[in-house]
Amino acid sequence: MKSIHLATLGCAALLALTPAQAQEPTTGGHIIALPQTPNTLVGTWRVTVSPDGIPPFRAYNIFYADGNSIEFDNSNAPGGQTIASGPWTRTGVNTYTFAEVNMLFDGQGNYQGELHVSGSITLDASGNTFASTFQFTVTDPTDMPVFQGGGTAKGVRASRALLFQ
């Protein structure tokens, strides 16, 4: 089994930040103060994933307002894995947890198992970058673990300018 190759896949799932923008409401010419809105993970992120002992790779994570996410990356050749998907949850001000899974395939397209990733994300004060730690497990087709590890990731909110530079 190509467990080392499989372990290199989408080991990072990380995210997209869009700061919430609220307008100050007025009543009769008086401004009503709103509580400060924390930043949000919702959006598209360009992420550098650095698994321990494995070369870094690029990923794009999309976090949806409904708590679901998808991630795609260049850790494996096309056809070696599916896009990852899974839930994410806010755990505090600018902090989140996530979990995602990819299906893995060999060069002939045969199912080889899954990659399970979970981790935590902390947004910076601007809401435009994040740091993450994660753990991953690669399983074989019978769901038996064959490789485990962890790592870190750094994300930048993907703006139009960033994507089309």
What integer pLDDT is reported at residue 29 of this predicted model?
Answer: 55
What integer pLDDT is reported at residue 36 of this predicted model?
Answer: 44
Closest CA to 121 of 53, 56, 43: 43
User: What pLDDT digit, counting tens, does each position of 34-67 carry?
Assistant: 444 558 999 999 999 999 999 999 999 999 999 9
What integer pLDDT is reported at residue 96 of this predicted model?
Answer: 97
Band of the pLDDT at 160, cuts 50, 70, 90? confident
Q: What residue type is 111 in one-letter code?
A: Y
Closest CA to 45 of 70, 28, 10: 70
User: What pLDDT digit, counting tens, does each position of 102-148 carry?
Assistant: 999 999 999 999 999 999 999 999 999 999 999 999 999 999 999 99
CB atoms within 10 A of CB 30: 7
Band of the pLDDT at 26, cuts 50, 70, 90? very low
Q: How far apart are CA 19 and CA 39, in angstroms?
A: 5
Question: Does the reported pTM lie above 0.85?
Answer: no
Closest CA to 158 of 9, 11, 14, 8: 14
What integer pLDDT is reported at residue 1 of this predicted model?
Answer: 41
Delimit the domains of the chain by residue range.
3-17+38-163
CATH code of domain 3-17+38-163: 2.40.128.120
User: What pLDDT digit, counting tens, does each position of 64-107 carry?
Assistant: 999 999 999 999 888 999 999 999 999 999 999 999 999 999 99
**With the C-alpha atoms ordered 12, 99, 164, 159, is the resulting torsion angle positive or negative?**
negative
